[in-house]
Structure 1
């Protein structure tokens, strides 16, 4: 096979204007066969060292690794050069090298396998609110296929070919890079003008899978006709040519089509999303697909489900799969019982007299491994506090004693890597250090202070519950029922409770971020009854209908009765597993209702409540 050095030389000649030698199919097949044999062959370290031109042994292997790293570095540099040529519009093609890799399988053996260089591009996003998702609007909107394949419908290497055990003939290709650049510019312009309501690129599976994924994300049906896409229905539905499906308001179809056709792309009106569960796709006057969306999603999700039930808790896997296949499942939703956008404080109204306000100080507390302090500090700052970065070593060594703080917030993360159990190591720092323990006790003895624990901070404070006034009822938090780390957006229902953080929010249902592996509240039956009777549950996980979530994934950790936040009788102490500080702006949410056009999310009310309580 061609070596990395040879490939780099080819690339260099290409960039300098020389012609890169094209290998015929027989040569490529022979090289692939050699690569396969090399990947299956095991070598002892002496032979591997000889191949690398070094002596065996630790020192020689280290030198080999350095030389090998240099080759990879050269490949990356070559890729950078390609990127520069593409960016300048001077590159008409690229030839990227592959670099073989060797990984030690044992002290005397190594397995050699080829590694492909992956080139990734990044670019700035000026306004994330202009980003498109596959979520469809449906009624009053039309779906357009934007085709950069010039109607060729090439099926080589496609998923359809794989299903039939074939490689296929001609694969899709970027025949004219300029058209791609023009299309990108046109789409950006349409985004700025808010002419697009949904977008999804055509890739694995072709048009039909692209459209279905949009329907799955939206809980809608489809009414499509792909006759104009290609004379062959298989090519129309399954070709993986470059392109996208976009959704456009019916009144904007003509304007959008004209703008996209002007880029050199072909544009076809293919139908629309429909309310309900039905999927109908026609070609040349015949109905080629006539089924239910949930039946197609059952097939689409089947492999995921089978893997999930073997890897995770099988009951959780079954519950999530059942939700996917429920045509009446509402998905995420929201309901507010308060004004989320009341306007600026009186002292900040433009034209009003300046008013000097002393910001109360709040300790943003962290330990080794905690990573949520920046978002937390920002949320409290926006609410009118002066956040102060306090590390546990500041308390232990006496640099900070909390005497001038009105609040202490224990942030989320992974203190001590959770090796002693989530939050337990952090709690032990308080429990077994006299100075830190005394500082916290003196802080809580003042009745004008508050304490908040989020995620890892929640777990830590729960472990200290026996030392916190009014917190004896708090549970320990243990491994999620799913047996997996859960990072997702879920719904949180605010309960009626004394918590100072949730005043005026009871009855609201708000999307929130969760990110934890040990969030299940462990409660004995009698303890659960006592907590429910006390009225000290501050928030619960709820489903899209607003009911208490008892199944996965609406209840991501399996806590009984959906318990997600707890407080004390005086409301000064609150712990919660979800992360409101990660979604204090609407743009930080994975999903929120379209009508939430204001900047700060409803979760800012929680931090503003604390500021109001402090006075």
Structure 2
């Protein structure tokens, strides 16, 4: 403003606004963990898969998702659940900006807190990298369009943590993000991630490792232009490609595999090349824009074996995998958590996709590892050697057992048991419809053209929060919705004369989405409904609720 108008409308010393902030002195010492390679003497592949699929960081998280309403606002284009079988494996969230356009926003998360036990900087870099690989399959455009929010959590003052925090901030703020051309305009911090208490006359401490949670967000022009982890077997011959940004490094330090065997490991994953990470994002963006991908899923917690299994769960299909182009150490190949992704393409586009990835410098990162097949069998080979074979349904139930047990503790056990049992039905057709009409036919058009829009009262009461999307739905169907609050009716400021019908919406007044509807209609029938011609239908509706 000073440069434009050549004046100073506000000219105050900062200490007047903020007070004199105290000077802080930090005595910082760098401490490094001496990790050790995994002791594999008691690890078998079969046992490792069983354990990792039960680890909360890897396992299904329906218990967290279904406790809330995923459709509030009516503008959620992509929630956690993917495909007809509603598997919670979505890489990112997508919302629309309005009810009458396809513009919107995409959001994703990234975090690798356990890695900070071995390498503070690597943990921070991986958080940024994971946020980008999660959001990559939504058509955004240039990488610079993405903005990041950083949530830092650290036990300030704990030996080694202050130096580690500085190392992590420098790694992403001064090195990785500038190299990628993206910024971190917002964020927050929690610097007291340590608690201390007295127990049996002893002082006990619990300290959380350094954690950086990155949220990536970006504007998108078409919310329909996204690819999910759902594998397709109805598009003819297909191919699965692994894009390994670790380029065979296969570090197992601080992985899910290490955790389930109560070990830490030595060398963790990392962002080894910022240029290749940027090239990965740009290549996926081009392929998404060209509609060249059938499915996409990033490689994260649990490693390649979990990535493939989650894609098979979403697609309700089997896998025929051959890892002959990868290292023969199957534990490190299947359970390393280096950045990357698995993509599915049709066979006729395979060479084009490989060429596109090569143009962005990823030729050495791409491996053709197999295909999705119909059926329930998941088969992994290395050349002619059978490495692992299991039914998809067995893996699915292992993956679901943790959420089932959590729901049994929190919710009605009978309901949790019923839901879990339904997942065992291999013949479940998933969500499907049998339409008796053509959804492409706009039946409201003739009435809209004649301006014959029935007036609709959208009844609103305390706790109602879905009235806007309800009005939008009726408006698209040819009605003229009007916001009608119960206080306006009770006070006589508004009358129902001239309305053809009304609708009551859901909310949270009475702890459930039907509560506000039931309460609002009861109040209406007892006070106002008796004075209208709508009373019989309102009374019947209330009785049903």
Normalising by structure 2, report the TM-score: 0.62
Distance 2:413 2:478 in 1: 46
1:161 to 249, 254, 258: 258
Distance 1:471 1:22 in 2: 68
Is 2:511 the partner of 1:414?
no
Tell me the equivalent position of 1:333: 432
- What secondary structure, in the 3-state scheme, does the structure 2 residue paired with 1:384 have? coil
2:281 to 184, 191, 195: 184
Tell me the equivalent position of 1:366: 460
- CA separation of 1:22 and 1:188: change in aligned 2, threshold 3 A: farther
Q: How does 1:422-571 map to 2 (within 5 A)?
A: 423=517, 425-430=519-524, 434=527, 436-438=528-530, 441-444=531-534, 468=539, 470=540, 474-476=543-545
- What secondary structure, in the 3-state scheme, does the structure 1 residue paired with 2:416 have? helix
Deviation at 1:158, TM superposition (A): 1.3
Do the aligned residues in 2 keep the contact of 1:418 with 1:425 (CA within 8 Å)? Answer: no
Deviations 1:218-254 (A, max 9, x none): 1111110112122311122111110001100001111
- What secondary structure, in the 3-state scheme, does the structure 1 residue paired with 2:192 have? strand
- What secondary structure, in the 3-state scheme, does the structure 2 residue paired with 1:120 have? strand
Root-mean-square deviation over aligned CA pairs: 4.1
Deviation at 1:322, TM superposition (A): 2.4
Is 2:449 the partner of 1:342?
no
Deviation at 1:307, TM superposition (A): 2.2
- CA separation of 1:294 and 1:163: change in aligned 2, threshold 3 A: same
Distance 1:83 1:405 in 2: 58
- What secondary structure, in the 3-state scheme, does the structure 2 residue paired with 1:231 have? coil
1:313 to 400, 412, 420: 412
Tell me the equivalent position of 2:147: none
Deviations 1:7-65 (A, max 9, x none): 8x99xxxxxxxxxx9644379xxx98xxxxxxxxxxxxxxxxxxxxxxxxxxxxxxxxx
Tell me the equivalent position of 2:385: 286
- What secondary structure, in the 3-state scheme, does the structure 2 residue paired with 1:363 have? strand
Distance 1:475 1:345 in 2: 29
- CA separation of 1:83 and 1:130: change in aligned 2, threshold 3 A: farther
Tell me the equivalent position of 1:235: 332
Do the aligned residues in 2 keep the contact of 1:154 with 1:171 (CA within 8 Å)? Answer: yes
Distance 2:181 2:286 in 1: 25
Deviation at 1:81, TM superposition (A): 12
- CA separation of 1:151 and 1:346: change in aligned 2, threshold 3 A: same
Distance 2:206 2:250 in 1: 38
Tell me the equivalent position of 1:25: 33
- What secondary structure, in the 3-state scheme, does the structure 1 residue paired with 2:220 have? coil
Tell me the equivalent position of 1:216: 313
Do the aligned residues in 2 keep the contact of 1:161 with 1:168 (CA within 8 Å)? Answer: yes
Is 2:213 the partner of 1:121?
no
Do the aligned residues in 2 keep the contact of 1:100 with 1:112 (CA within 8 Å)? Answer: no
Do the aligned residues in 1 keep the contact of 2:279 with 2:360 (CA within 8 Å)? Answer: yes
Tell me the equivalent position of 2:95: none
Distance 1:300 1:5 in 2: 48
Deviations 1:314-357 (A, max 9, x none): 232222222222222211112101111114766699xxxxx552
Do the aligned residues in 2 keep the contact of 1:98 with 1:117 (CA within 8 Å)? Answer: no
Task: Give the structure, 1 or 2, with the largest relative contact order (CA under 8 Å, sep 6 or more).
Answer: 2
- What secondary structure, in the 3-state scheme, does the structure 2 residue paired with 1:399 have? coil
List gaps (5 residues or longer) in structure 1.
11-20, 33-67, 69-74, 350-354, 452-460, 462-467, 477-615
Instruction: Give the number of the structure whose alpha-carbon radius of gyration is greater.
Output: 1
Distance 1:212 1:308 in 2: 23
Do the aligned residues in 1 keep the contact of 2:228 with 2:296 (CA within 8 Å)? Answer: yes
Do the aligned residues in 2 keep the contact of 1:369 with 1:417 (CA within 8 Å)? Answer: no
Q: Which stretch of structure 1 is more off in the superposition, 290-299 or 189-198?
A: 290-299
Distance 1:420 1:24 in 2: 55
Distance 1:320 1:360 in 2: 41
Deviations 1:89-124 (A, max 9, x none): 378999x97611578999xx9998658453322112
Deviations 1:423-454 (A, max 9, x none): 5543453355x4x344xx41416x9xxx6xxx
Deviation at 1:217, TM superposition (A): 1.3
Distance 1:306 1:280 in 2: 28
Do the aligned residues in 1 keep the contact of 2:507 with 2:513 (CA within 8 Å)? Answer: no
1:380 to 465, 474, 490: 474
- CA separation of 1:275 and 1:420: change in aligned 2, threshold 3 A: closer
